């Protein structure tokens, strides 16, 4: 898979995010002045209005805020994956900011809001950019 419709924006705003994935890190923005976590990528902190937020590495551990299982191949490049589950994951370590990702593993059927998940970075064969994906976590799972 080459020429996928994702990767750094032409204006360079989110280049550190993609560079982080290449280095095996999830990076999100955080204001250097008021320390507010920011996502999606922005040129300015919406809290104190300082320009050019920093990028910080975040441990990809969180809980499912919502999810949807896609059956229709809306994205041609992912047609061979349907049905797949996209999770929206809340990250306590990053000010409860939420990030998206595809859920992998053999136990995606029973996914529920509130489930703990752990992120990992996958580099699909032939793809230009690695991506953040999620697995259900057995540690600390809620009863």
Chain residues that interact with other proteins, rule: CB under 8 A = 4-7, 9, 14, 39-42, 46, 65-72, 74-76, 78, 81, 83-84, 86, 88, 97-102, 112-113, 129, 131-132
Task: Please report, in angstroms and rounded to a whole number, the separation of the first and last CA atoms in the chain.
Answer: 39
Closest to other proteins by CB, 38 or 61: 38
Q: Please state, in angstroms and as integers, the Cα–Cα distance from residue 132 to each residue in 8, 36, 46, 48, following that order.
A: 14, 22, 25, 29
The CB-of-84 to other proteins minimum distance in angstroms stands at 6
Torsions phi, psi for 134 (to 5 deg): -125, 155
Closest to other proteins by CB, 50 or 75: 75
The CB-of-137 to other proteins minimum distance in angstroms stands at 18
> What CA–CA distance (Å, rounded) separates 92 from 4?
30
Closest to other proteins by CB, 32 or 73: 73
């Amino acid at each position: 898979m080459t020429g996928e419709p994702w990767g750094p924006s032409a204006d360079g705003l989110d280049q550190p995010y993609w560079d982080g994935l290449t280095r095996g890190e999830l990076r999100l923005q955080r204001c250097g002045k008021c320390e507010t976590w920011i996502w999606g990528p922005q040129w300015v902190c919406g809290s104190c209005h300082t320009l050019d937020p920093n990028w910080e590495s975040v441990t990809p551990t969180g809980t499912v805020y919502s999810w949807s299982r896609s059956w229709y191949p809306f994205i041609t490049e992912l047609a061979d994956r349907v049905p797949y589950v996209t999770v929206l994951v809340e990250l306590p370590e990053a000010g409860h900011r939420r990030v998206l990702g595809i859920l992998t593993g053999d136990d995606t059927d029973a996914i529920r809001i509130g489930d703990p998940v752990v992120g990992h970075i996958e580099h699909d064969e032939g793809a230009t950019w690695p991506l953040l994906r999620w697995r259900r976590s057995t540690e600390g799972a809620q009863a």
